[in-house]
Structure 1
Amino acid sequence: MELNFKAIGKRIKIARLKTDLTQEIMAEKIGVTPQHVSNIETGNSSVSLTTLIAIANLLKVSVDELICDTVLKTKYVFSKEANEIFRDCNEYEIRVLVEILKAAKYSMRDVKMFEARIKNNE
């Protein structure tokens, strides 16, 4: 399995911005250069486990939250993200988003059943 460094970098950047840290301050606190932080956030550079843990600790997030696009068992991370999306929504927005999610879920399951039928008929 290959790590998705662009997705990891994007999550790091989002978490950094939520804590109002600049790349320069983050770099200083974790002991790397600002350029390395920039490369990590853009996915142009891989991140070592030591640096990833330092970033997670600084940003007060779990490593799972940063790598959840690569790890298979991450339901709780995505559930937490969904809750964050809904947190500042009004009743109308929640209703619309839930209807969209229901339709997407139905469509995904419908396609899976269709694919299974085709596979069984081959």
Structure 2
Amino acid sequence: MNYSEINYLEIGKRIRYARKSQNKTQEWLAEQVDVGTTHISHIETGNTKLSLKTLILIANALNVSSNELLCDNLVNSQDVYNVKINKILEECDNNEKKIINEILNFVLILLRKYNIT
């Protein structure tokens, strides 16, 4: 990824995911942030660039960190991914963890073999 360019599509996807995971509507978020619903829709689809102020208001309204919303654009975002992976693993039994471990090891081998990182 070219870290000199901001990936607004990924930011929008993360905002949408956070909103939907809390069963919140675009209308609710727009009201919290004091913008129009159409603006929220455009942010979530990556069709508009959001301001730093709007990003902060959205993060606060959804009770998520800005790092969580920006992690696809940050070089040092390991902590965000570690938290997400740990959260998934907390919900797994030992057999599921064993299978996930095997899958991850296989995927990592392929990623490194084909330099896909």
The normalised TM-score by structure 2 is 0.87
Q: Give the one of 28, 36, 40 matched to 1:37.
A: 40
SS across alignment from 1:68? helix
Deviation beyond 4 Å, 4+ runs, structure 1: none
Q: Which consecutive residues of structure 2, in runs of 5 or more, have no partner in the other structure?
A: none
Deviation at 1:88, TM superposition (A): 2.1
Distance in structure 2 (CA, Å) of the matches to 1:98 and 1:88: 14
Q: How does 1:1-122 map onto structure 2 within 5 Å?
A: 1-111=4-114
Q: Deviations over 1:79-116 (max 9, x none)?
A: 1111122232232222111111112223334445xxxx
Letter in 1 for 2:55: L
Distance in structure 2 (CA, Å) of the matches to 1:18 and 1:71: 23
Distance in structure 2 (CA, Å) of the matches to 1:6 and 1:25: 21
The normalised TM-score by structure 1 is 0.84
Distance in structure 1 (CA, Å) of the matches to 2:88 and 2:10: 18
Q: Deviations over 1:43-90 (max 9, x none)?
A: 111111000000001111111110100110000001111112223223
More helix as a share of residues: 1
Q: What is the count of residue pairs matched by the alignment?
A: 112
Q: Which consecutive residues of structure 1, in runs of 5 or more, have no partner in the other structure?
A: 113-122
SS across alignment from 1:67? helix
